Structure 1
Amino acid sequence: MLENRDTPFADRGQVGIGTLIVFIAMVLVAAIAAGVLINTAGFLQTKSEQTGQESTAGVTNRVNVVSSVGVVGNDETVHLVNLTVMKNSGSGDINLSTATVEWLGPDTGTILENGSEADADHFNTTVIRDKQGSFPVLHNQEDRFRITINANKVGDPGGLDGGDEFTVKIVTSAGAMTYHHSVPPSLSGKDAVQL
Structure 2
Amino acid sequence: MFEFVTDEDERGQVGIGTLIVFIAMVLVAAIAAGVLINTAGFLQSKAQETGTQSSKQVSNRLQEVATVGNVTPAGQIDEVNVTVTQAPGAGEIDLENVTVTWIGPDGTFLLNHENASQSVDDSFGTSQIKNVDGSSTVLDDPDDRFSLDFDLSTGSGDPELLDEGDEVTIKINTRAGSTTTIRFTVPESLGQQQGVEL
Do they fold alike, i.e. is TM over 0.5? yes
Give SS of 1:184's match: coil
Q: How does 1:19-34 map to 2 (within 5 A)?
A: 19-34=18-33
Q: In 2, Cα distance between the equivalents of 1:65 and 1:6?
A: 93
Q: In 1, Cα distance between the equivalents of 2:183 and 2:5?
A: 97
The aligned residue for residue 155 of structure 1 is 159
Shift of 1:30: 0.5
After superposition, the Cα gap between the structure-2 partners of 1:5 and 1:152, relative to the gap in structure 1 and judged at 3 Å, is farther
Q: Which letter does structure 2 place at the counterpart of 1:90? A: G
Q: Which letter does structure 1 place at the counterpart of 2:82? A: L
Q: How does 1:83-122 map to 2 (within 5 A)?
A: 83-115=82-114, 121-122=122-123
- Structure 1 gaps of 5+ residues are none
After superposition, the Cα gap between the structure-2 partners of 1:5 and 1:143, relative to the gap in structure 1 and judged at 3 Å, is farther
The aligned residue for residue 180 of structure 1 is 183
Q: In 1, Cα distance between the equivalents of 2:159 and 2:12?
A: 94
Shift of 1:76: 1.3
Q: In 1, Cα distance between the equivalents of 2:53 and 2:62?
A: 16
1:63 aligned to 2:62? yes
Shift of 1:188: 1.7
The aligned residue for residue 134 of structure 1 is 135
Give SS of 2:153's match: helix
Identity among equivalent positions (%) equals 48
Q: Is the 8 A contact 1:79 1:150 kept in 2?
A: yes
Aligned length: 187
Shift of 1:5: 5.6
Shift of 1:133: 2.0
Q: In 1, Cα distance between the equivalents of 2:102 and 2:152?
A: 9
* C-alpha RMSD over aligned residues: 1.4
Greater shift after overlay, 125-134 or 138-147? 125-134
Q: Is the 8 A contact 1:101 1:169 kept in 2?
A: yes
Q: Which letter does structure 1 place at the counterpart of 2:129? A: I
Q: In 1, Cα distance between the equivalents of 2:194 and 2:127?
A: 20
- Structure 2 gaps of 5+ residues are 116-120
Q: In 1, Cα distance between the equivalents of 2:51 and 2:197?
A: 38
1:72 aligned to 2:71? yes
- Compute the TM-score of the two structures, normalised by the length of structure 2: 0.90
The aligned residue for residue 192 of structure 2 is 189
